[in-house]
Amino acid sequence: MKVTKYDHTICLEITPSTNVNKLVSSVESLYKDKIAIVIELSETNIKILLIPEYRHIKYFDDNVYNTIPKIFDKKSLMPHNTFKSSFFKKTLVFHTVDHTWALLPWLNINCEYLKKITILHFDDHDDLGSPFLDYYSSNYHEVRDPIANRNYNLLYIEDVFDAIAYGNIGIGSFILPFIAQFKDCHLIHIREDINHSLIAKKKRLFLKQCQFQELTFNRLDISDSESNLYDFLYSKVTIDEIKDIIDTDLLIVDIDCDYFYNKNKWDNKFYKSELTFQELEKKLNRVFKKLRQIKGKRKIICFTIALSPDFFPSKYWEFTYKKINLLISDIANSNDFL
């Protein structure tokens, strides 16, 4: 297999061991955020171009490109690559279009904070998918792309950026690379409509052996039973139960805006009535009211907020961005947590 890389696009030349459709499907299932296009085909060789999905994506939401400049002060041909950061007093606030980029500030947190930390993950999805990375070393920041044979050191922000841009880490798989490095972590997943339990459950992190063509490599995965690495705490709760389950003094507050309203359930039969701005404001106020009610001297290290195109409609983005900044500013000025 020959691999050529350029500008976050990868060209694979493969001697097929299976039919073409199956091979393309297999490649796309590995690179979650890539589109696989067959550009050359013969009996002995298949050439597949792996293109980042954001280069080809057509949003159901036609207003995405028009809304981005109102928030991020720039036009973007690649909205998945758009983010900005600011500080409210000493606390980092990181706004992004694509949730994957939340990993950048997380991995840039000063290690002194990471003795024990809780992630409050407000999201309609758990985002606990397996990143397409080969964990070849006992140092879980040293990983590689098993097909392109590109090494990453996830302690370096440039490598994290490339791992996301090349599709090795995606919108549903950005949490496990953080947990793998900083083991004493409690992930609290908050959803509005769940069958929940106040009991924190142990999820087990392990390396799953994968095979692609002639390659064998280890991918990070989670399970309730199998483990050869370690356990981390995972809780799935409603917002009213947060204060009863937090067991650390250090917090990351991670908000995917589809927590407030998810228009897309990947089901053609699914229909959800429109959310009014009054209802949205009420939900936003409720989240931050609950955050302020958490008792004890806890420190929020950073806020990460994702707009999530095609899940959370862009017509709500500008209002949500301004309202969240106002609510965070109120917390900062009251000296709660920060």
pLDDT tens, residue by residue, 195-207: 656 677 888 899 9
User: CA-CA distance, 118 to 51, in Å (whole number)?
Assistant: 35
Domain 58-333 falls under CATH 3.90.1570: no
pLDDT tens, residue by residue, 17-33: 667 787 777 877 777 66
Closest CA to 147 of 162, 128, 136, 133: 133
What predicted TM-score, i.e. pTM, was given to this entire model?
Answer: 0.87
CA 163 to chain centroid: 12
User: CA-CA distance, 170 to 138, in Å (whole number)?
Assistant: 23
Question: What kind and span of H or E run contains 176?
Answer: helix 176-181
Angle between helices 277-293 and 317-333 (to 10 degrees): 30
Q: Predicted confidence band at 64 (pLDDT cuts at 50, 70, 90)?
A: confident
Residue 253 CB-density burial (10 A; 0-12 exposed, 13-18 middle, 19+ buried):
buried
Give the per-residue pLDDT at 274. 84
Average pLDDT value for the chain: 83
Q: What is the mean pLDDT of residues 184-191?
A: 91
Alpha helix stretches (DSSP H) within 48-121: 64-72, 103-107
What are the strands of the beta sheet with 9-14, ordered from one edge?
2-6, 9-14, 46-52, 34-41
Fill in the DSSP letter of residue 98.
S
User: CA-CA distance, 104 to 272, in Å (whole number)?
Assistant: 32
| C-alpha distances out from residue 199 to 77, 123, 186, Å | 44, 19, 12
Domain range summary for the chain, segments of one domain joined by +: 2-53, 58-333
Give the per-residue pLDDT at 158. 92
